[in-house]
Structure 1
């Protein structure tokens, strides 16, 4: 057998698994699946409510604008995967590694705090959304039997379902790392597109039943009859920005996803592969988001629920609602893992390299098979990953406000992780001259997004405060 060409030999040395890290086997399609799993999640279900606050003019325009900003900033970020030469330079395997290589100093610690706070917040939001969908399955059956007007009799709390979901995540959190979960991301991506399609189909059916397209150019009316004051209109519009930002949020794990892409022979690079993956993912999600948000608003107008599949604008066919909400839960199991795996990997590395080097507790592993699923379990991994799941589950039981929490998480993380750090790293790595047209354009983009992020955070905080007033944290049946 002839020896491999020199360029392929170099590729294998750089990124094929001979650097002491897991062998990378990902492709553009698996990377796209990871991104879609992380993006099309619980956020898509709140888009009809967001469009209702902004209207037919503002709603679609804001979604397209966010999609364009996310795409541009993601392209900047994937350029920072390697330092120096884009084909053979040192790999920045995580977001923090890229910040350390390009910016250094205090910004590394700031990035770490923001990124891991966002990981935690998103996992909390995912747990809330999953429990709401699980509760909706029971409620849909109750409405079908008792009648659509029995909202009080078919009520209940989502908190017990949070515990069930937490139990599922304890098992799935034992998946060793993100390299071993392509199958889960693929399944989750299929589920996300499936329940989005069901939501769109039900919305179209509702529009036909109504005999009209509902909604206005400017969104929810202000006045006594509408039940919304001028200030509430402002806060809710800002919160809608946060909901849309949350729906598009994936930059905080983009480099971790890029690190799963296998090395390819020059002139292609992981960066070129990820550019294609980002383009496919953002285009797909934008189309799905526009359809879900606009169809939901056309069906319900100003009465659009903050969760399209669980707000019970739809009652029948109940079995289809059950199928869609079951798909939401399956998808969010994968989303939780895509988001949490960087946290797991970070502490695993720190514990192995710095905290307890050579520890038998860290090194001892056992292979456990659950059906066709093979899990490699170690005592340390079992204890600490279970603890992480328990903490996110406990936090979810204290803050079961789906719409408000989605907006707050999206707004708070949008500017620093999606815009600021990618812009600053790109400027530093490419040595963009200060004051040049490119530098001014990038700084203007960052400043504009900062204003949007601050406004969205303010609106989302107001929404959380309003929801918390009617919340009893000790009641597990209401």
Structure 2
């Protein structure tokens, strides 16, 4: 599908509206950074020490840096897709799917939409699992402190997942991503807090041990096949920790202009990737250095750290608060898509389109439709239910990372760049980018295979 040659811009005489007639966008580079960090630093950071322990001292840090470079490079390509043709006055692509439709046509739009919403939904499920794990860890930490580290402290996760679902039921009344800057700021503060705590505990453990544990080849196993499966799963886990392309354009759509949105987004991406890479390298490497072959799957809930128990409890509480906001960051694009589709499909339906003004004590007035109430409730119940059925932290993260890494982070941004810049087949740039995309595809396939094998093994042993 050729790029549109004419630009249809809806002008508005009101200073309260942008050039497309929508309410004036007020986002800045720093609000975008808070959204990105909320999206990136989540469940993934907790599994990085485990991933480094499987890859070893050379391959682990190298692959972390590789994913950081891939993420930043592809975010640059994708941020240029927000405006068609002209980066200042061109037609806006409000979402990832809108950009794919504009540059690549309707057939690949369906594929992109499927991959995007599958990843968004999957990440929501991962956050349900992680939150329950952290809540259970708080109880176990207190139990170990009271009765000793060898006490039988067993707590289930199902109740905590249900409680998280109840919280998300109320959080889902937030209208859209434009009204979530405060949620992202709180969540970003929480993510920094538990990342610093995990890093500090790792450094303290290394000092306590008096040695750096681990090896160049990673955790030894009984046979080469088992080692390969663990390495493949680790690739998926690291891939999950980085990419945020699935919601990049939705975040960019909150930015004010001037300056051009793509410039602001590139600045926000650079800051976010630098900050997260620093934390990832520190948390992953110090975690492995502290525990070596015994590195837990989740650094703050695997109980390599027992004391100070109150600090471990606080870190896990920060994780819970962060993931409450992170769940909404990843769910809002699905909610928005459902609202748009239902309004187009049933323009005269009262159930879909009638909006009620709701006022709850201590809260501002918000708008609610019966369709929005029903759809979001069903979505929360679905994600919570799947989390209860498959509560396997590292394996689920690996599957999601593999499914997101190549198609959404690499393939579609590269393909749209070819159309944008009119890159001819078999030119030097075409060959280099095709090779880059193919390497990332192989990594995704290996990560997906290893993580699925891990889920099957965990399900059979449970």
TM-score (norm 2): 0.95
Shift of 1:411: 0.8
After superposition, residues 218-367 of structure 1 pair within 5 angstroms as 218-223=217-222, 229-264=223-258, 268-357=259-348, 359=350, 361-367=352-358
* 2:6 match: none
Contact 1:124 1:395 in 2 (8 A): yes
Is 1:116 the equivalent of 2:117? yes
Shift of 1:10: 7.6
Q: Secondary structure at the match of 2:315?
A: helix
Shift of 1:22: 3.7
CA deviations 1:447-474 (Å, max 9, x no partner) are 1100111111111111111111122xxx
After superposition, residues 51-70 of structure 1 pair within 5 angstroms as 51-70=52-71
Contact 2:53 2:60 in 1 (8 A): yes
Distance 1:11 1:285, change over 3 A: farther
Q: Secondary structure at the match of 2:174?
A: coil
- CA distance in structure 2 between the partners assigned to 1:338 and 1:365 by the alignment: 24
- CA distance in structure 2 between the partners assigned to 1:452 and 1:373 by the alignment: 47
- CA distance in structure 2 between the partners assigned to 1:316 and 1:397 by the alignment: 29
Contact 1:119 1:340 in 2 (8 A): yes
* 2:105 match: 104
Shift of 1:358: 5.2
* 2:27 match: 26
- CA distance in structure 1 between the partners assigned to 2:60 and 2:366 by the alignment: 44
* 2:156 match: 157
* 2:185 match: 186
Contact 1:242 1:409 in 2 (8 A): yes
* 1:455 match: 446
Distance 1:430 1:369, change over 3 A: farther
Contact 2:213 2:288 in 1 (8 A): yes
CA deviations 1:173-198 (Å, max 9, x no partner) are 11000000000000000000100000
CA deviations 1:211-259 (Å, max 9, x no partner) are 1111111111233xxxxx2111101111111000100021111001100
CA deviations 1:431-456 (Å, max 9, x no partner) are 11222222111111101100111111
Shift of 1:106: 1.2
Is 1:409 the equivalent of 2:409? no
Contact 1:15 1:263 in 2 (8 A): no
Contact 2:355 2:367 in 1 (8 A): no
- CA distance in structure 1 between the partners assigned to 2:95 and 2:20 by the alignment: 15
- CA distance in structure 2 between the partners assigned to 1:443 and 1:136 by the alignment: 44
Contact 1:14 1:88 in 2 (8 A): no
* 1:475 match: none
Shift of 1:16: 4.2
- CA distance in structure 2 between the partners assigned to 1:64 and 1:13 by the alignment: 46
* 1:36 match: 37
Gaps of 5+ in 2: 1-9
Shift of 1:20: 4.0
The count of residues paired between Structure 1 and Structure 2 equals 453
CA deviations 1:66-88 (Å, max 9, x no partner) are 10011001110111111111110
Distance 1:138 1:90, change over 3 A: same
- CA distance in structure 1 between the partners assigned to 2:459 and 2:450 by the alignment: 14
Give the root-mean-square deviation of aligned CA atoms. 1.7
TM-score (norm 1): 0.92
Contact 2:11 2:21 in 1 (8 A): no
- CA distance in structure 2 between the partners assigned to 1:14 and 1:433 by the alignment: 42
- CA distance in structure 2 between the partners assigned to 1:48 and 1:179 by the alignment: 34
Deviates more, 1:355-364 or 1:312-321: 355-364
* 1:125 match: 126
Q: Secondary structure at the match of 2:360?
A: strand
Q: Secondary structure at the match of 1:369?
A: coil
- CA distance in structure 1 between the partners assigned to 2:361 and 2:166 by the alignment: 15
* 2:169 match: 170
Contact 1:16 1:263 in 2 (8 A): no
CA deviations 1:413-444 (Å, max 9, x no partner) are 21000000000011111111222222111111
Distance 1:232 1:172, change over 3 A: same
Distance 1:418 1:361, change over 3 A: closer
Deviates more, 1:304-313 or 1:104-113: 104-113
Distance 1:373 1:468, change over 3 A: farther
Shift of 1:105: 2.9
Contact 1:36 1:189 in 2 (8 A): yes
Gaps of 5+ in 1: 1-8, 224-228, 472-478
- CA distance in structure 2 between the partners assigned to 1:154 and 1:255 by the alignment: 45
